[in-house]
C-alpha cells in the first residue's frame, strides 16, 4: 500500500469519526424543526451516519460532557439507535423533547385532551385523562407555569425489534397553584417555584413511516 493510500484512509476514518460524534448529539446551533411534536424535521442537509469503520472510542468517564445532550451511560444505546435509524439526530430530538415536555405539561394543566392525545401513547393518555377528570370532579383548576427547563439530557436508550425507547431527564422550575371552584387558592404559590426532576420515556416504532415520537412513561426521579 502506498503512502498516499495510507494517508487517504486515515483521512476517511477521521471524517467518519467526526460525523458520528456530531450525530450523537453535540449542540451545533443549527435551527431545525423539532422532531418530536408533530412533523418531520426539514433540515436542508441532515446529518447521517455514513458506512464504514473508524468510529471513536467511548469517552472516559472524566470527560467533559456538559455540551452534549446525552449522558455517558446512554452512548451505547444511541450508537445502536443510529445504526438502525440513520436519520436520527440526538440534538434535534432533544429540541423536540423539550418542546413536548412543555406542551404536555401545559395541556395537562389546562385539561386539553386533544393535545395529550396527539403526544401520548394510549396508557399515558388514559392516565392523564383520569387525573384531569378527577380534578374536574372536585371543581379544582390548576394555575401552573413552567418557568424554565434548567437542563434536559438523554439518560437511556432501549432498542427492540419493534421499537426504540429514549428516556430523557428534565430539571425544571415550575410554579404550581391549585384553586377551588370559586377560584380561591387551596395549594401552592406563584411566587415560589419548585424544582422538578422528571424522567420521561418516548417511544417510536422502528421502520415506521410516522416520524413522531410519543410519550410512553412519565415519572418523577
Quickly name the fold that domain 68-220 has.
Nuclear Transport Factor 2; Chain: A, (3.10.450)
Residue 177 DSSP SS3: strand
Residue with cell 419493534: 162
Pairing of strands 145-159, 163-179: antiparallel
pLDDT in tens, 140-191: 999 999 999 999 999 999 999 889 999 999 999 999 999 999 999 999 987 8
pLDDT score, position 66 = 55
By the 8 A CB rule, do 4 and 73 touch? Answer: no
Model confidence, pTM: 0.70
Q: Which of 100, 107, 150 is nearest to 132 (CA)?
A: 107
Q: What are phi and psi of 86, to 5 degrees?
A: -75, -10
The residue ranges of every structural domain in the chain are 68-220
Helices 3-23 & 75-84, crossing angle to 10 degrees?
Answer: 100
Residue with cell 468517564: 61
Give bridge partners of residue 177 from the DSSP assignment: 188
Amino acid at each position: 500500500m502506498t503512502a498516499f493510500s495510507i494517508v487517504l484512509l486515515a483521512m476517511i476514518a477521521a471524517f467518519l469519526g467526526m460525523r458520528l460524534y456530531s450525530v450523537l448529539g453535540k449542540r451545533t446551533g443549527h435551527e431545525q424543526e423539532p422532531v418530536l411534536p408533530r412533523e418531520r424535521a426539514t433540515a436542508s442537509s441532515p446529518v447521517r451516519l455514513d458506512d464504514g469503520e473508524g468510529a471513536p472510542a467511548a469517552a472516559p468517564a472524566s470527560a467533559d460532557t456538559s455540551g452534549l445532550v446525552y449522558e455517558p451511560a446512554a452512548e451505547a444505546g444511541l450508537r445502536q439507535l443510529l445504526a438502525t435509524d440513520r436519520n436520527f439526530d440526538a440534538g434535534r430530538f432533544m429540541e423536540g423533547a423539550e418542546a413536548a415536555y412543555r406542551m404536555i405539561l401545559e395541556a395537562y394543566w389546562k385539561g386539553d385532551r386533544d393535545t395529550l392525545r396527539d403526544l401520548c401513547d394510549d396508557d399515558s393518555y388514559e392516565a392523564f385523562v383520569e387525573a384531569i377528570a378527577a380534578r374536574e370532579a372536585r371543581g379544582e383548576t390548576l394555575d401552573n407555569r413552567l418557568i424554565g427547563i434548567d437542563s434536559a439530557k438523554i439518560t437511556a436508550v432501549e432498542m427492540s425489534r419493534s421499537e426504540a425507547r429514549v428516556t430523557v431527564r428534565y430539571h425544571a422550575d415550575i410554579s404550581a397553584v391549585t384553586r377551588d371552584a370559586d377560584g380561591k387558592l387551596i395549594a401552592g404559590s406563584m411566587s415560589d417555584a419548585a424544582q422538578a426532576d422528571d424522567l420521561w420515556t418516548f417511544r417510536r416504532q422502528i421502520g415506521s413511516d410516522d416520524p413522531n415520537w410519543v410519550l410512553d412513561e412519565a415519572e418523577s426521579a
